[in-house]
Amino acid sequence: MRLSQYFLPTLKENPAEAQITSHRLMLRAGFINQTTSGIYTWLPMGERVLKRIDQIVAEEQDRIGCHRITMPTVQPAHLWQESGRYEDYGKEMLRIKDRHDREMLYGPTHEEVVTDLVRQYVNSYRQLPLCLYQIHWKFRDEIRPRFGVMRGREFYMKDAYSFDIDMDSARTAYEKMYNAYLRTFARMGLKAVPMRADSGAIGGDLSHEFHVVADTGESAIYYDKAFENLTEADYSMEKLGKLYAVSDEKHDPATCPISDDQLVSRRGIEVGHIFYFGTKYSKSMNLKVAGPDGKPIYPEMGSYGIGVSRLVAAIIESSHDEHGIIWPEEVAPFRIGLIDAKNDAQTQAISEQLHERLTNACISVLYDDRSERAGVKFSDMDLIGLPWHVIVGGKTLTAGTVEVKNRRTGAREDLTIDALINKFLGD
Ligand code: ATP
Ligand code: MG
């Protein structure tokens, strides 16, 4: 991709409305644009990151046997009247009337729609367990939208819903999801701490929140140091459930069971929330299946959210420096930023050749071919934070090499063009 032809509207100045790093950087680096309070347009760079996160989330949901669907954003009110939540949900719900004066709403969540869907098709225990998910836009008329996409009004969420024949099977579904969440966040280069939570408005008896550690997190969290070095072998709800991890309200230094040197006190961004709530919706919405003995059973349900658009901001909060964003490779909008640092005939020819070869090898590359000064190109590339910068120019060119910089470590090496292609092909 040529930067000269790309839509990447970067800002020179810090936008005054942005209070936290991720919001500031997303605006400055041209990832998002605010349409109105809490509602954003995702610009090409932001869109690429959002879709990469979408893909990782989807792969991990598919891996545990959930099936992706897309439910409507606009829902009829009668489903919520049936479940009894229409009045309770309050002002966060955007209520709309259609031309026939029918009450509609923009979905803040989808328990009702999915329960209605499943009751139309599932009537035997043989069709369970079932887990359906979507990754789609939600609207919640938050009282205080803030911090950019961190707390938006319209936001992109993964929401999954599980249906099981009994509590044991529901618990297995819940645990599979718990493990999938740890894998999902780890793949994005994030440290996520799961903690027991009150299930809040949705109601129910088992719930965990997943927090990413970052200084600007909305809530103070306290947890066992052991969470900082988890490997996949540790992903057991039973094992991790024994470790201390609580939010502010539940932390009491007097009764905290672990020693000060084992206790970490940080701030957290909630990026995921899972609930088991039993038969709340299956009963209120009359979703019944025939059990093995022919008697009707109300399926046990759970719902499982990941804030996909919030994750973009959370990743930036946990991965940036004073020059800009540092994208983990797994979610980066492009893998390589190619910089023609001299704009002369020779550097241009080499850059063009590199751009073509990398593109042909399916290595994503953003090529800064603008006729800007090298300094401007370097600082823009640091700001947008692509993991690798390839710099054509400077002294190394006479030796037939280009310079490769790792955005995170700052480490630089000189490589011939062939060695460069091999480096990225090999990874
Ligand atoms: P919060 O306490 O932050 O309001 P919640 O409990 O309302 O979150 P859930 O209904 O569990 O959130 O939604 C699942 C996930 O969606 C949350 O863990 C969070 O990552 C994300 N999310 C919730 N509200 C917003 C929002 N207004 N903007 C962006 N992401 C959000
Ligand atoms: Mg909320």
- DSSP symbols for 115-153: HHHHHHH--BGGG-SEEEEEEEEEE---SS-BTGGGB-S
- With a 6 Å cutoff on the Cβ, whether 53 touches ligand 1 is no
Question: What radius of gyration do the chain's Cα atoms show?
Answer: 24
3-class DSSP assignment, residue 340: strand
Cα–Cα distance between 150 and 144 in angstroms, integer?
A: 11
| Residue labelled with tokens 């793949």 | 187
Q: Which residues pair with 306 in a beta bridge?
A: 158, 272
Cα–Cα distance between 160 and 304 in angstroms, integer?
A: 5
The helix-helix angle for 44-63 and 308-318 (nearest 10°) equals 110
For 323-331, what is the mean pLDDT?
98
The residue count of the chain comes to: 427
The answer to whether the beta carbons of residues 210 and 192 sit under 8 Å apart is yes
Contacts for 40 with CB less than 8 Å, ≥ 6 apart: 32, 33, 34, 148, 149, 152, 154
CATH 3.30.930.10 domain range(s) in the chain:
3-321
Q: pLDDT (tens digit, 9 = 90+) per residue, 351-406?
A: 999 999 999 999 999 999 999 999 999 999 999 999 999 999 976 677 789 999 99
Best residue for ligand 1 mutational test, from 50, 270, 317 (most atoms within 8 Å of Cβ) = 270
For 298-313, what is the mean pLDDT?
98
Q: Does the pLDDT of residue 203 top 50, yes or no? A: no
Number of helical H runs and strand E runs in the chain = 11, 23
Tokens standing for 289? 């299946």
Tokens standing for 369? 């071919």
pLDDT at position 427: 62
CA of 194 to the centre of ligand 1 (A): 15
Q: pLDDT (tens digit, 9 = 90+) per residue, 269-297?
A: 999 999 999 999 999 999 999 999 999 99
Q: Does the pLDDT of residue 200 top 60, yes or no? A: no
Question: What string of H, E and C letters represents the secondary structure of 226-280?
Answer: HHHHCCHHHCCHHHHHCCCEEEHHHCCCCCCCCCCCCEEEEEEEEEEEEEEEECH
Tell me yes or no: is domain 3-321 CATH 3.40.50.2020: no
Contacts for 244 with CB less than 8 Å, ≥ 6 apart: 222, 223, 224, 256, 257, 258, 263
- With a 6 Å cutoff on the Cβ, whether 313 touches ligand 1 is no
Give the β-pairing of 103-106 and 289-290.
unpaired
Nearest to 294 by CA among 125, 69, 44, 117: 125
Tell me the ligand closest to 140's alpha carbon. 1
The residue whose CA has the least distance to atom 10 of ligand 1 is: 305
What is the distance between the terminal CA atoms of the chain, rounded to a whole angstrom? 21
Q: Does the pLDDT of residue 157 top 70, yes or no? A: yes
What's the whole-number average pLDDT of the chain? 95
Q: What is the CATH number of domain 336-426?
A: 3.40.50.800
CATH 3.40.50.800 domain range(s) in the chain:
336-426
The helix-helix angle for 44-63 and 167-187 (nearest 10°) equals 140
pLDDT at position 199: 54
Tell me the ligand closest to 144's alpha carbon. 1
For 164-171, what is the mean pLDDT?
96
pLDDT at position 352: 96
Cα–Cα distance between 31 and 325 in angstroms, integer?
A: 11
Alpha carbon separation from 401 to 181, 344, 350 (Å, rounded): 42, 16, 10
Atom of ligand 1 nearest to the CA of 159: 14
Q: Does the pLDDT of residue 201 top 70, yes or no? A: no
Nearest to 290 by CA among 168, 167, 132, 128: 128
Best residue for ligand 1 mutational test, from 310, 311, 316, 317 (most atoms within 8 Å of Cβ) = 310
- With a 6 Å cutoff on the Cβ, whether 136 touches ligand 1 is no
Q: Is 13 exposed, middle or buried (0-12, 13-18, 19+ CB in 10 A)?
A: exposed
The b/e string for 391-414 (b: 16+ C-beta within 10 A; e otherwise) is bbbeebbeeebbbbbebbeeeeeb
Model pTM score: 0.96
Tell me the ligand closest to 142's alpha carbon. 1
Q: pLDDT (tens digit, 9 = 90+) per residue, 14-35?
A: 999 899 999 999 999 999 999 9
Cα–Cα distance between 185 and 306 in angstroms, integer?
A: 10
The answer to whether the beta carbons of residues 269 and 22 sit under 8 Å apart is no
Tokens standing for 230? 């988890």
Q: Which residues pair with 405 in a beta bridge?
A: 389, 412
